Amino acid sequence: MLIRPANSADVPAILPMVAAICSMHESWDPDRYAMLPDVIDRYARWLPQRAADPRSILLLAEDDSSKPAGFLVGETLSNIPIYRLTEYGFIHDMWVEPDVRKSGIGKALVLAAIERFRAMGIHQVRLETASLNDVARRLFESCGFKIGTIDMLRSTRR
């Protein structure tokens, strides 16, 4: 397995994984994760920007045959100005293909992202995970993450 920085040429190989994670999230909680119809087109424009931005991270995991096995995307965000911490790394999305899960790829992606943020001088990394995603939560905890907040949602639609 290889974890490497992705570039714009890798985006077409990442997009099917993006579609899978979007579909999964929307099926779990359509109130929270109601995707726009053109979500994949939006990612197709956004991911190359992340690959080119030195304050962002776009990683691709490949198996031994160079087949895409997972990806992670994150960026540096500014904190609101009431806190001492002015910026933090944020992992937006991570996906590991079902046929290679439990092989260490997810943990390798997360740890590589943490190291890249550390090299940028970022002292904190945050992420969100769906409340139903116990597997991801255990993975992130094994990488040193702790629950920092609990995001709550209430739809006002009748």
pLDDT block averages, 10 residues each, the chain of length 158: 96 98 94 94 98 98 91 97 96 97 96 98 96 95 95 87
d(CA 1, CA 68): 10
What sign for the dihedral angle of Cα 127, 132, 136, 139? Answer: positive
Does a structural domain hold residue 149?
Answer: no
**Residue 65's pLDDT is what?**
83
Which positions ≥6 away from 141 have C-beta within 8 Å?
none
**Residue 64's pLDDT is what?**
83
Count of domains for the chain: 1
d(CA 103, CA 89): 25
Does a structural domain hold residue 93?
Answer: yes
CATH number at residue 59: 3.40.630.30
Identify the domain containing residue 116 by its residue range.
2-142
Does a structural domain hold residue 150?
Answer: no
